[in-house]
């Protein structure tokens, strides 16, 4: 099981306790936290509070971004192949017995930067022959049905997102949990769980 969670800040004690409880209940193989909004010594303190043994991190840029991949199983070998402020691309061994690629994503909320992310992903996809899992927050939606309320959905942006996915030969696996996980400044626990 892989848990992927846009946490919108991981340094707080309340989040650390919630993560520790979730870790105990669900026993995930990997935990991916995006938009951690902390780095350096604050990140190390937060990870220690959560009780993880191993980590691979893309540092936050001030109070934005940040990607953490965390795990405890010493049999899982995760090797960072490329780090970028919008993604962490890794090779994973020892999980389900085979080698595969994993890219944790925290896409910029700015469309021009997001397009640079997709250019990188398209370039990577041309050299990938085996299993490749991408997960995280793409700051985009695939269809208008993925949004409720707020400003009218820009279908051109949805089509662009789908086109980018198709260009990388990606398949949407869906998620478990609440369908809508973000409402204005209120965030509901919305995680993607891949098993």
Q: What does the pLDDT read at residue 143?
A: 80
Q: What is the pLDDT of residues 136-154, one digit of tens each?
A: 999 998 887 777 777 888 8
Domains, the chain, ordered by start: 2-194 (3.60.10.10)
Tell me if 16 sits within 8 A of 36, measured CB to CB: no
Cα(37)–Cα(132) distance, integer angstroms: 26
Strands of the sheet with 132-137, listed across from one edge:
77-84, 87-95, 98-106, 132-137
CB contact set of 33 (below 8 Å; sequence gap of 6+): 5, 7, 10, 19, 66, 67, 68, 70
State phi, psi for 3 to the nearest 5 degrees: -100, 130
- CA–CA distances in Å: residue 155 to residues 122, 139, 146, 158, 174: 22, 14, 12, 5, 20
Residue 178 is predicted with a pLDDT of 64
**pLDDT for the residue numbered 79:** 97
- Given a cut of 70, the residues of the chain with pLDDT beneath it are 96, 175-195
- Please, where are the H alpha helices in the chain? 13-26, 40-50, 111-125, 155-167
pLDDT of residue 194: 46
pTM of the model: 0.88
pLDDT at 16: 87
Neighbouring-strand partners of residue 131: none
DSSP state of 176: S
């Amino acid at each position: 099981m892989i848990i992927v969670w846009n946490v919108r800040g991981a340094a707080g004690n309340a989040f650390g306790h919630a993560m520790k409880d979730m870790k105990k209940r669900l026993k995930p193989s990997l935990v991916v936290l995006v938009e951690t909004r902390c780095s350096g010594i604050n990140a190390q303190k937060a990870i220690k509070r959560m009780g993880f043994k191993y980590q691979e991190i893309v540092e936050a840029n001030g109070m934005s971004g940040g990607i953490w991949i965390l795990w405890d199983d010493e049999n899982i070998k995760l090797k960072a192949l490329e780090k970028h402020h919008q993604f962490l691309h890794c090779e994973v061994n020892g999980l389900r017995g085979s080698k595969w690629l994993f890219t944790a994503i925290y896409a910029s909320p700015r469309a021009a930067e997001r397009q640079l992310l997709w250019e990188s992903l398209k370039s990577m996809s041309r050299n990938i022959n085996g299993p490749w899992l991408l997960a995280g927050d793409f700051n985009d939606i695939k269809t208008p049905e993925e949004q409720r309320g707020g400003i009218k959905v820009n279908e051109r942006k949805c089509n662009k997102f789908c086109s980018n996915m198709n260009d990388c030969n990606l398949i949407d696996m869906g998620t478990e949990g609440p369908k809508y996980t973000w409402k204005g400044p209120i965030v509901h626990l919305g995680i993607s769980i891949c098993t």
